Amino acid sequence: MNKKKKQDKGIVLKVLTSPYLALILRLYIGGLFIFASMYKINYGAEFAETIASYQLVPYWSVNFLAITMPWLELICGIMLVVGFRARSATVLIAFMLVLFTIAVLINLLRDSPISCGCFSSSDEPISWMTVIRDITWLLMCVHIYYFDRMLHLENRFMAMLKRL
Amino acid sequence: MVKQNPTIDESSSQSRLEQLERQAYQLRILNEAIRELTLLEDQEEILEKFLLIILGTVGTSRGFAVSMQNYGRTSIFESRGIAASEAQILRECGPQIYGVYFNHLDVLEEVLPKQVRLVTVNEPPQGQDKEVAWPADTRVLVQWTLSSDCYGFVGIGPKITSNDYDTHETDFLLSMTEVLMDCLKMAGSSREVRQLNEDLLQKNMQLNNALSHAQKAQSDLDRQVFHFKALSEMARELSGVFDKKKLLDGFLLMAQGAMSARCGFILLFDVQENRLIISRRGDKAKALDQLDQTRVKQLVLSFYPSPACFSLPDFKVQPLQTSHLAGQALDLPLDMGAVFSLDENYFGLMGFCSKITDEEFSTDEEELLTSLTRNFLLSLENVLSFEIIQKLNLDLGRRNYELSKTIEELRETRDRVNVLQKAGNRISSLIKNELTRLERVNAVDFILIFSLTLVLSLTYNLSSPGGTSPIPKTWTFTSAPEIEADWAALKHQNNAAVFVDARPNEFYSQERIADAVSLPLNLFDFVYLMRFANMDPEKELIVYGRNISRRYDEKVAHELSLRGHKNVRILAGGLNEWKKLNMPVEP
């Protein structure tokens, strides 16, 4: 019994730490961020409103953030998908997710009647589900950070260097 | 020595005279006999002459004389007037005579010299003489003994006158026998002397022969010693030479000395290196330099039936005569020479001529040359072996040098490889470090990403038609004057002003100043038309609603002033300041 349990534990651990899982997660998060950035880039003004609705950044930086942040998401997403400096991208994405989570958390505590604005300006209002969702994504990023090592664009170049 | 008969016939003086005359005659005969017989050397002749003299002197026609030796087995017998059969019998009965008359000689150690005995006178021998067949008419028998080795008998027959023999005659006979004995002795002595002389001569001759033999042997020995000396000297001299040419020169010099030849040469063919080594001495050998090598080679090769013969002992050295050259039409200066071969690679010929003594070369010298050549071949073999050893040594040295060079190169290469390896290790460690560094999350990455984001976003924003200005709009216009909250409260109490909520609708719904009118920016035009279009432009409007991120109040105030409202104020401190004053809020 014990042995079987141990075996099961091993298999679970193996699956949980599998690089394939990390790859899937990486592609998912990357794709997610690319998808999220698309609308925001095209509708900068609306996104600026969303940022403003959170009431966390000074008024003079709102527009600037609205212009740049979607691009940051896009670039990080692309880097994650293709596997170029994926860890750095993961760190940045995780950082953003932390920021978003904190922002949502603050506004939840404030009881602000705002929508998330994660994918478009007409999202449903923020809720604890939004926090849980963001934390799930954050955990995925942690997994990626620690276990991802497959299908990296830069790995080819690295392998070449290593062979030298 | 003649004994004189002392008895004198006293009958008459006549007879005395006759007697004297006869004595004188006998003495004369004796004298003559001595003179004649001493001249003779042969016993037979002496006996013959003696017999004749006696027969003639005593006057008888028959008689014999016998001389015996060696126990009567050898005898010399002379007879006159005796029947041949009787003579034959007497001649053969020597041993019997010895047995009867001379057997005392065996017993006696020394015999008295010259014994003469009258056996019978005037009668035939009788008594003990029966065993001996003396001739029948023997009248006087005289036995004589000269020595144990020479003895005999003298016998005479009756006188012609038939008278008896008188004492004078017997005395004479005895004297004559003594003379005979003396003569025989002399003859024997002289014969012995002659014999000795002859022996001496013969010995002398033999000695001479032996001497000449010894001399010959001596000279042979001398020559052989000289030859051996030459051989050993040559062996010694040549053993120290390690060069082919020098060996040839040395050998030629020594061989010429040993042969005593004025002129000599050696040709050695080296097939491996395809060259001819010539060594020559003397005037006649000068022309050798222009020699036809191929023909000389042919000549040498003609001595060997097959290549295998070169190393056979029988073919190693073969004498070469002038006759060999005749067929080849070669003009080599040689009276004597040799063809030699060590093996199929080294062979040649040598020749010597013009002997210093102007003689022909002897067979001895030919043999010497053969021996010398064999010696020379041994030395040549040594030289070749030495050359091979030297070559091997040289090869070894060169290989050693190459090996040491290779080792040096290897060492250098190893050093270089070490250096390269170190460099490689350094580079690879650098690369590894760089890789691990690259694998790690890097500040550069962030800078890069942020820069890229900035550049792309700003560029896109500028080029996009629906772009948003990064600078807040409120900075571009002069904002409306503010009104203190307590003032505003007073106005609220007096209904002196219209309170305008500039915030979005949700915030308005959540909490607002009592009786405030919602005028959100996103619905500005619509709400304005509905509520403010007919309002007096002089009516005081107090706008509130701002947060950290947005200044709705300023914007709305600006819009309102643009629509002609002159009395637009912004509530300082907004809803929060309002609530601090405990002014009424809705809902």
pLDDT in tens, A142-162: 988 888 777 777 777 767 766
CB B575 within 8 A of CB B487: no
Q: From residue B103, give the alpha-carbon distance in Å to each of B72, B127, B150.
A: 10, 17, 13
Instruction: DSSP letter for B523, please.
Output: G
Q: Where are the alpha helices (DSSP H) in A17-56?
A: 19-42, 44-54
CB A158 within 8 A of CB B431: no
Cα gap A82→A153, rounded to integer Å: 6
Backbone angles phi, psi at B457, to 5 degrees: -65, -45
Give SS3 for B517: strand
B452 close contact with A: CB closer than 8 A: yes
Q: Which site among B453, B455, B523, B554 would you substitute to test the A interface, given the most A Cβ atoms closer than 10 Å to its Cβ?
A: B453
pTM for this one? 0.46
Q: Which of A72, A66, A42, A36 is nearest to A54 (CA)?
A: A66
- Residue A137 is predicted with a pLDDT of 92
Q: Which site among A37, A38, A85, A154 would you substitute to test the B interface, given the most B Cβ atoms closer than 10 Å to its Cβ?
A: A85
The C-alpha R_g of chain A, in whole angstroms, comes to 19
CB B270 within 8 A of CB B346: yes
Residue of chain A with shortest Cα separation from B509: A113
3-state helix, strand, coil in chain B (%, to 5): 55, 15, 25
For the cut 90, the answer to whether the pLDDT of residue A135 exceeds it is yes
Cα gap B368→B317, rounded to integer Å: 12
CB B520 within 8 A of CB B505: yes
- Is A54–B549 a contact, with Cβ atoms under 8 angstroms apart? yes
- Is B466–A55 a contact, with Cβ atoms under 8 angstroms apart? no
B472 close contact with A: CB closer than 8 A: yes
Nearest by CB: A44 against B461, B475, B548: B461
| Secondary structure (DSSP) of B344-380 | TTEEEEEEEEEETT--PPPHHHHHHHHHHHHHHHHHH
| Burial per residue of B365-380, b for 16 or more beta-carbon CB atoms within 10 angstroms, e otherwise | bbebbbbbbbbbbebb
CB B259 within 8 A of CB B356: no
Long-range pairs, B75-80, Cβ under 8 A, ≥24: B75/B152, B76/B43, B76/B44, B76/B47, B77/B47, B78/B44, B78/B47, B78/B48, B78/B50, B78/B51, B79/B51, B79/B135, B80/B51, B80/B52, B80/B55
Q: From residue A119, give the alpha-carbon distance in Å to each of A34, A46, A116.
A: 10, 11, 8
**CB-based burial of residue B200 (10 Å sphere; 0-12 exposed, 13-18 middle, 19+ buried)?**
exposed
Count Cβ atoms below 10 Å from residue B290 Cβ, excluding itself: 6
A85-104 pLDDT, tens per residue? 888 888 899 999 999 999 98
Nearest by CB: A66 against B448, B454, B468: B468
Cα gap B280→B277, rounded to integer Å: 10
In single-letter form, the type of residue at position B128 comes to Q
Q: Which of B493, B582, B507 is nearest to B544 (CA)?
A: B507
What ipTM is given for this predicted complex?
Answer: 0.86
* Residue that the structure tokens 């026609």 belong to: B61
Q: Which residues of chain B have pLDDT under 70?
A: 1-11, 109-113, 126-131, 327-329, 438-439
Nearest by CB: A67 against B428, B432, B470: B470
Residues 6+ apart with CB under 8 A from B397: none
| Secondary structure (DSSP) of A51-93 | HHHHT-S-HHHHHHHHHHHHHHHHHHHHHHHHTSSHHHHHHHH
At B174, list the tokens. 């005895």
Q: Dihedral through CA B77, CA B80, CA B84, CA B86, nearest 10?
A: -70
Cα gap B343→B243, rounded to integer Å: 18
Backbone angles phi, psi at B221, to 5 degrees: -60, -45
Residues 6+ apart with CB under 8 A from B2: B26, B27, B30, B175
B386 close contact with A: CB closer than 8 A: no
- Is B458–A68 a contact, with Cβ atoms under 8 angstroms apart? yes
Q: Is the dihedral of CA B16, B18, B21, B22 positive or negative?
A: negative
Q: Nearest-CA distance from A2 to chain B in Å?
A: 39
Nearest by CB: B453 against A55, A71, A162: A71
Count Cβ atoms below 10 Å from residue B527 Cβ, excluding itself: 17
CB B540 within 8 A of CB B569: yes
Q: Is the dihedral of CA B1, B4, B5, B6 positive or negative?
A: negative
Q: Nearest-CA distance from A137 to chain B in Å?
A: 20
Cα gap B464→A79, rounded to integer Å: 24
* Count of CB pairs separated by less than 8 Å, A with B: 106
Residues 6+ apart with CB under 8 A from A146: A17, A22
Backbone angles phi, psi at B154, to 5 degrees: -125, 130
